[in-house]
Amino acid sequence: MASCSEFLDQRKAGPGFRYKPAGRPSLPRPVLRTTLRRCLLILAMAAAAGLAFNLAAPQGIGWLPAEVSRPLWQAVGLSRARELQKAGALFIDARDPGRYRAGRVRGALSLPPEEFGRYYPMLRAQLKQAATLVVYGRSRSRWPAAWVAQELARRGHGRVLVLSATLEQWRAAGYPFKAPRRRRRP
């Protein structure tokens, strides 16, 4: 590290002088540019090799989760889901328990992805009895519902569908909805 006196001595060298601390050599700009270009070239070659491997490999590495890119479930619209409910389909709420308590499709069971391992064994017999399972729980994406539907299909449940509409759209259509009861104040 340069002392104050060394700095002042170097300042006397002229107006074009730039202070550089001792012990820290700097690279000339052309060397820096060449090094940066080489690093970018190596990065581009690695990305190209990774992409080529991904395309050549039979299983590949998915850009999206399997429950979205290779679903074992089918999407179902709002009116068709209502028809299925009338025919006895079982609805599964894949949202977190707090949202489930705040309102749900009437008759739906709660099976959030975070608690799947704990809730599924308790619900297995009831789920096996249903001919059709309709899973909902969409926010901006279908992730919670898609994940739960994928797991149910992997575990051998026959017809597993994911509701493509939101719960708000279900409620706005006037379909059966269970809202929490308000407590009366004494």
**pLDDT by residue (tens digit) across 29-71?**
788 888 889 999 999 999 888 888 777 766 666 666 666 677 8
Which string of b and e fits 156-181 if b means at least 16 CB within 10 Å? Answer: ebeebbbbbbebeebeeeebebeeee
Q: Of all residues in the chain, what percent carry a pLDDT higher than 90?
A: 53
Residue 133 and residue 160 in contact, taking contact as beta carbons nearer than 8 Å: yes
pLDDT of residue 55: 74
Domain ranges of the chain: 21-61, 66-178
Residue range 129-161, pLDDT digits in tens: 999 999 998 766 558 898 999 999 999 998 999
pLDDT of residue 138: 72
The residues that bridge with 91 in the sheet, in sequence order, are 134
Residue 16 confidence class, pLDDT cut points 50, 70, 90: low
Output the CATH code of domain 66-178: 3.40.250.10
